[in-house]
Structure 1
Amino acid sequence: MILTVDLDSEVPIYQQLRDQIVEAIARGVLTEGSSLPSTRALAADFGINFHTVNKAYDLLRQQGLIRLNRKTGAVVALTDAGAPFRTEWTARARTLLAEAIARGLPAEEVLATCRSVLDSFGSTPPEEMP
């Protein structure tokens, strides 16, 4: 897995790391049980503070995407999203889609973009992949 950070981006570095790891899980690059680099190693690779990496990993842990353990480090450990996640996700998607429509994107283009993004991850959820 290759991660990159844009130090000039308005998106915080911890959020960039978190988002790229989520995308790697969605694409199947990272699967259940995959190990992630240690916070110190990843921080050293990017020349950033290890607390920044720790914040990204903690977000992923809170969201049920990784497990943190002193012995094994950070490991992908997918848990069932459940109803609260679905409700929150739907609200976020609604706002993002509303923004696209409010900015004048035609519904057909929005749907085509959604399909294209989903296809880039593969349409099969990670737990159903062979």
Structure 2
Amino acid sequence: MLIEIDFEAEIPIYEQLKRQIIEGIALGHLKAGENLPSVRQMAEDIGINLHTVNKAYNELKLEGYLNIDRRKGAMVSSMFPKSTEDFDEKLREDLKYLIAKAYLRKIDEKKFLEFCSSIFKKYNKN
């Protein structure tokens, strides 16, 4: 899986890494039980600080997407977290922001829903 970091983006680097790993899992590019590169190796490969990789890996562990073992390193979890009220509320808040931005740019509901549907379909193929 290729990780691409935008050093000019408003999104923090650890968050970009975290999002790309989650997307890689959802797309099937990373399989359950698959090892990720070590923190040091990932940092070298993409040219970022190892503490940044460590933060992303730890957040992914806390959220249930990775298992981290001192001997084996970081591995994709075989059981992903289920939706919760907290997750649903966070999702609702994130969507409110994105919908407000789309609305102000004159993207209508139909077009917005088409965007959502086309993206969601990418993940349903796995």
TM-score grouping bracket, smaller chain normalisation: 0.7 to 0.9
Confirm or deny that 1:89 pairs with 2:91: yes
How many residue pairs are counted as aligned between the two chains?
124
Detail structure 1 runs of 4+ shifted over 6 Å in the superposition.
none
Aligned residue for 1:16? 16
Aligned residue for 1:98? 100
Ranges in structure 1 where 5+ consecutive residues have no aligned partner:
125-130
Q: Per-residue CA shift, 1:79-120, capped at 9, x if unaligned?
A: 332423233223322332233224321111001100111122
Aligned residue for 1:120? 122
Ranges in structure 2 where 5+ consecutive residues have no aligned partner:
none
Aligned-CA RMSD value: 1.8
Residue 62 of structure 1 aligns to a residue whose secondary structure is helix
- The TM-score normalised by the length of structure 2 is 0.86
Deviation at 1:7, TM superposition (A): 1.9
Q: Larger deviation: 15-24 or 1-10?
A: 1-10
Q: Per-residue CA shift, 1:35-88, capped at 9, x if unaligned?
A: 111100011112221001001111111211111110111111133324232332
**Which amino acid letter does the alignment assign opposite residue 47 of structure 1?**
G
Are 2:33 and 2:76, in contact at CA under 8 Å, matched by a contact in 1? yes
Equivalent residue in structure 2 for 1:111, among 110, 113, 124:
113
Are 2:65 and 2:80, in contact at CA under 8 Å, matched by a contact in 1? yes
**Which amino acid letter does the alignment assign opposite residue 108 of structure 2?**
P
Deviation at 1:123, TM superposition (A): 5.1
